[in-house]
């Protein structure tokens, strides 16, 4: 199913109904408007990929409608449909960047291939945008991994290495705050050893309070299953019940196990 609809704008209700029925039978989602005002309301709501525009509207000239449509953040393509063809209207349609100019009565055998080409082009544009976005994400991930690898190889100070890695991980996931903890096997607790973007008024509290493992709901998942733990509702998630998490007032949280020599030795 195509995520966008076709909007038929024509004050002749019989024509609008005919076009809508044909397009729906061809598998397209369709909306209908009989005035420019109604059409603009639908367009501002989004989700319209193509406008079939009658130039002779009762409340606004069709060329003015084209101008208003092009001001939208995501304007649809436009096919002009008119029963009063003229050189002037054809020129204005071309200048308005329309994808087609069809005379009434509408020959649907001519209309359908134009609509199909527009739909395919819009699909390809969406796909290209998706691939571009994915490529940017992968590039960001690669840069972070390289930065982490470089960090680990340029210092022998464990705490400094963890601080740098914590910084890169925080940036990678787009978090507001990042922290690194090391496991204290004797005391069965997580000891804070590095932080990134920890609020200044919280820094002393963060460094002074280890996390006792026995009180954490994510212990089994992180230490036994070695799986990350994520929550998009930290205040109400029992796995993030420790008081320190509540003090930070974050909405979401992610815990990543820190593995060394195939053993979980801490967490980010």
Question: Is residue 211's pLDDT more than 70?
Answer: yes
Distance of CA 99 to the CA centre of its chain: 28
73 DSSP assignment: S
Radius of gyration in angstroms for the set of CA atoms belonging to the chain, rounded to a whole number: 29
Question: Is residue 265's pLDDT more than 80?
Answer: yes
Cα–Cα distances in Å, from 30 out to 1, 58, 120, 121? 12, 22, 17, 18
Nearest to residue 226, comparing CAs of 188, 181, 258, 197?
258
Range 4-21 average pLDDT:
94
pTM: 0.55
Domains defined for the chain, CATH in brackets: 5-128 (3.40.50.2300), 155-267 (3.30.450.40)
Q: Hey, what are 262's tokens?
A: 């195939």
The region, left, alpha or beta by phi > 0 then psi within -120 to 50, assigned to residue 45 is: alpha
257/40 Cα distance (integer angstroms): 52
pLDDT score of 120: 92
76/193 Cα distance (integer angstroms): 53
pLDDT score of 14: 94
260/39 Cα distance (integer angstroms): 61
Torsion, Cα of 169, 172, 178, 184 (10° steps): -20
Question: What are the tens digits of pLDDT across the range 215-262?
Answer: 567 777 887 788 888 999 988 888 888 777 777 778 899 998 888 888
Question: What are the tens digits of pLDDT across the range 57-88?
Answer: 889 888 888 889 989 988 999 998 887 766 66
- DSSP secondary structure string, 170-237? HHHHT-S-EEEEEEETTTTEEEEEEEES--HHHHHHHHH--EEGGG-TTHIIIIIS---EEES-GGG-
The length of the chain, given as a count of residues: 268
Confirm if 80 and 100 have CB atoms less than 8 A apart: yes
């Amino acid at each position: 199913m195509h995520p966008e609809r076709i909007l038929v704008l024509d004050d002749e209700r019989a024509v609008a109904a005919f076009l809508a029925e044909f397009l729906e039978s061809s598998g397209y989602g369709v909306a209908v408007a009989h005035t420019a005002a109604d059409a603009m309301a639908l367009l501002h709501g989004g989700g319209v990929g193509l406008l079939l525009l009658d130039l002779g509207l009762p409340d606004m000239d069709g060329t003015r409608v084209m101008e208003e449509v092009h001001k939208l953040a995501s304007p649809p393509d436009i096919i002009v449909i008119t029963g009063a063809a003229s050189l002037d209207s054809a020129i204005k349609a071309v200048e308005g960047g329309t994808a087609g100019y069809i005379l009434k009565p509408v020959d649907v055998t001519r209309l359908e291939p134009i609509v199909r080409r527009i739909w395919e082009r819009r699909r390809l544009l969406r796909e290209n945008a998706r691939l571009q976005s994915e490529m940017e994400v992968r590039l960001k991930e690669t840069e972070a991994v390289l930065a982490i690898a470089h960090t680990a190889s340029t210092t022998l100070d464990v705490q400094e290495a963890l601080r740098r890695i914590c910084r890169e991980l925080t940036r990678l996931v787009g978090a507001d705050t990042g922290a690194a903890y090391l496991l204290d096997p004797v005391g069965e607790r997580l000891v804070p050893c590095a932080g990134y973007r920890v609020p200044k008024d919280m820094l002393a509290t963060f460094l002074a309070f280890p996390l006792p493992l026995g009180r954490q709901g994510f212990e089994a998942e992180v230490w036994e299953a070695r799986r990350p733990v994520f929550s998009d509702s930290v205040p109400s998630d029992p796995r993030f019940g420790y008081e320190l998490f509540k003090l930070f007032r974050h909405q979401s949280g992610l815990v990543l196990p820190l593995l060394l020599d195939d053993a979980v030795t801490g967490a980010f």
